[in-house]
Chains A and B, each alone.
Chain A
């Protein structure tokens, strides 16, 4: 299918795919803002994200055209790299781009019923504009090969996100402090990152990530580099909701509009983790990251702490949104743990879980949006008996839930399996125990919800039977079936993750 879709794209356009992928939604964003009504803006955003998706598929097929993965370098505006900005796509980028654009496209389709219910009419066009800007930022982060440019895109996406989160105020006023908190933390993170990049620039005189990687080899013991390294890891750690820098996340997820929650949960932290991995492995190089012991003394303990602590917090939430939000932080822990192993198998497992978790949380938050739409409530109490009144929505929710737990035949199982195998091969037996313990906590917190959904009597039996609208159900089921597809035929995604890890270890790309 990938080959078929990319064969439809004309050669001239395919050659500019890296630029178009980011530029198209960026150009559509102001257009959307000027649309006379929200519906047109919605259609525009579907078109923009669809175009990006096609570009991402084209890039993926270009990267995969060579055994081991090609590296596509694209000089923005024809300015040669180092002076100009370079977009550089390898196996890792193309995977993340495919993920972000796929989720972005599905999210755009599903958004309308939810946005119509939660956002006031006058603000809808602006809302979609902000969404496209956010989407632009995320794809930009995932494709650029320039450290400062990465910061710019990171800020583009973040600023748009603050707006999107704050728009949840129509539904729940607590969205405003949540957005404020997020703004504060996000800005600190971005500032740390840009300070770090500044240190690197001072030490090496370049901002191009590939070039940085080469020049950093010559200045290993430079204190400025070390300081830059620390700033970058913390800065990106905040963006990625790395424990204990995750405090902004639960509230932001819980109070923003349902659609925003779904989109952010499936993409934003993933892109930040991508950036973190990119800096750790490609820019600084494995040796540097290991010698500084960052992987073992920072990423791994933080990952483990997230898995345990946030899973516990998830158990004690009464609001399903917050349960899922805490679970997201915990899942970030799994990815970081995989990455921190520092072997190809470990990084591959982390990346595999990154994709799968996007599928899982996408499906879960989408069905949650359906529930918000029809029942106006997200507490555990509201979920009672929903299995009878909204079987399709809730079956998809259940698929996401069992995938999150890691039941066989679902995506979550495959990536946890890969992660545990990597841990065993590396000899971290005790970490296996923690992974399993955290999985059991997932059984508890998701099991509680599932039990309420399928085995409890509705708390308010007067509410009539109501399924989520088709516009929600279709993308929802695409994601839910995606979970099963990866669980049964996971070769494609596992292959992407393997290639991505391999690209990091060859160290060819930016």
Chain B
């Protein structure tokens, strides 16, 4: 398969899947078959693209200009290939999970649900592969619009309110800030392409003030990165069915956001200009603030999904933080966090969904002692929590390590402390959940009986167990992954890198 064909496949497959789901809408088994086969095919395509990228082959596609200066062009590079791999790979797992969840919960409008999912994946693939800001923006908006019906899926007043906040925040920030920044970049640099080393180096008349303003517009314009104060859409999006929260609000949508931030930092600003931009430190401060405050807010939430949502806000800020460190280790930490947090957080969400399907429980206080009934779920939850906290030998360890390295390299002394505090807060708000469920203190009453006879459907238990295992495996495969990413992030300072083990 040539590079061009691979990209075409990555973009056309989701459309075909969506169409196939629509055709097979009346036969649920066939419909789900379409999703699974399609997701598997998409994953294979993503692997092919990644292999080509790691071999240094050009994977490009140019579909021509919309108007002069605005091109639909795609080019895979390591960062995007990794994001595509994560999104499409976890889509397979999540599809299995969705089948169990949606049927177990007897949700309505399932055909629409699966169709929108496919389109959302199209958005994610497009964002991952885009070769310029215009293409990225187009797919970024496709991702926003296609996930709106998913968030509003329940259709009651609460879901509609959440979905409206979701849409308005994401559209508002993207039109109000991101688009302005994109057009401004175009006017300054005469192009919108992602250029290794930074597009803005070509820009004439880029004063420090303009660069600072641009960076702020970009950072807050990418609402999907959930930087405070534009984070509130994420907790509100939790009205969606859990598979949506799991794949989209832990993987595809939010990761598209932070991926965009990374991509802009590396390919639009570039390490050099970013370092010389004053507002970088401001955004870094905002990211650190977000990490701490979102973690604190998470502690106050008793609703499990809300707690996970705030945890996501905090964890996403890690990536922004890595991007704003503006050195290779920081970029690497941010990139690894995209993958590591994805497998960890999807596990947590899928566990939350499985608990909800089986017992109807949404609040953490109702889950005491539930581990006796659902041991696998809570063990998976435990493992994923440890990964999010960053304890070896689990995947979440590496991004934190790289970020600290990056902070040290860049002389940002306070960032490691923020990360340490964040880890401690993670322990405080995540670990009690599985521990109290598995080992309830003596005297606490029996948990409520299953709402659904037979407990959680088999698929909703198997999927999180699988991703928990992935957290474990990824710890040991991080070497090849970081080698793969290195062309995008740049070489890290060798002395520290050598003593730092083998990430």
Contact = CB atoms under 8 A, between A and B. Distances in A.
A225 B152 CA distance: 61
Interface string A416-439: 011011001100000011001101
A494 interface: yes
Given A443-B168, A494-B67, A408 B141 contact: yes
A406 B175 contact: yes
Contact of A455 (B137, B141, B160, B179): B160
A289 B259 CA distance: 48
A489 B171 CA distance: 23
A406 B180 CA distance: 13
Contacts of B64: 489
Nearest to B159: A455
Interface residues of B, number: 28
A408 B164 CA distance: 20
A436 B160 contact: no
B368 to A, nearest CB: 38
A447 interface: yes
Contacts of A425: 187
Nearest to A425: B187
A412 B172 CA distance: 16
Nearest to A435: B180
B138 interface: yes
Contacts of A439: 175-176
Contacts of A424: 183-184, 187
A30 interface: no
B78 interface: no
A487 interface: yes
Contacts of A414: 66-67, 70
A490 B70 CA distance: 10
A199 B138 CA distance: 51
A337 to B, nearest CB: 15
A407 B164 contact: no
B70 A417 contact: yes
Contacts of B164: 447, 451
A489 B180 contact: no
B141 A418 contact: no
B68 interface: yes
A397 to B, nearest CB: 15
B333 to A, nearest CB: 31
Interface in B104-160: 134, 137-138, 141, 145, 152, 155, 160
Contact of A421 (B137, B160, B176, B187): B187
Contacts of B175: 405-406, 436, 439-440, 443
B190 to A, nearest CB: 11
Contact of B176 (A407, A409, A437, A487): A437
A205 interface: no
A455 B148 CA distance: 11
A298 interface: no
Contacts of B160: 451, 455
B14 interface: no
B204 interface: no
Contact of B66 (A420, A440, A488): A488
B410 to A, nearest CB: 31
Nearest to B179: A436
A417 B65 CA distance: 14
A36 interface: no
A455 B138 contact: no
Contacts of A455: 152, 155, 160, 163
B186 interface: yes
Looking at chain A's contact residues, is the secondary structure mostly helix, strand, loop, or mixed?
helix
Contacts, number: 67
Contacts of B61: none
B180 A420 contact: yes
Interface string B65-87: 11110100000000000000000
A432 B172 contact: no
A292 interface: no
A407 B164 CA distance: 17
A154 to B, nearest CB: 32
Contacts of B172: 440, 443
B208 to A, nearest CB: 16
Q: Which of B160, B186, B187 has the most CB of A within 10 A?
A: B187
A391 B162 CA distance: 25
B67 A490 contact: yes
Contact of B145 (A407, A436, A444): A407
Given A421-B187, A424-B184, A443-B175, A491 B65 contact: yes
A433 B183 CA distance: 12
Contacts of A406: 175
Interface string A184-212: 00000000000000000000000000000
A146 B338 CA distance: 66
B167 interface: yes
A20 to B, nearest CB: 33
B67 A418 contact: yes
Given A407-B145, A408-B137, A440 B183 contact: no
A496 to B, nearest CB: 12
Contacts of B167: 447
A436 B67 contact: no
Nearest to B135: A408
Contacts of B186: 421
A44 to B, nearest CB: 38
Contacts of B70: 414, 417
Nearest to B70: A417
A409 B138 contact: yes
Contacts of A490: 66-67
A439 B168 CA distance: 12
Contacts of B187: 421, 424-425
22 contacts: A406-B175, A408-B137, A408-B138, A408-B141, A409-B138, A414-B70, A420-B179, A421-B186, A421-B187, A424-B183, A432-B183, A432-B184, A437-B176, A440-B172, A440-B175, A443-B171, A444-B168, A447-B164, A447-B167, A455-B155, A488-B66, A490-B66
Given A418-B67, A424-B184, 5 more contacts: A421-B183, A436-B180, A440-B172, A490-B67, A494-B67
Closest 6 CB pairs of A and B: A424-B187, A490-B67, A408-B138, A494-B67, A420-B183, A436-B176
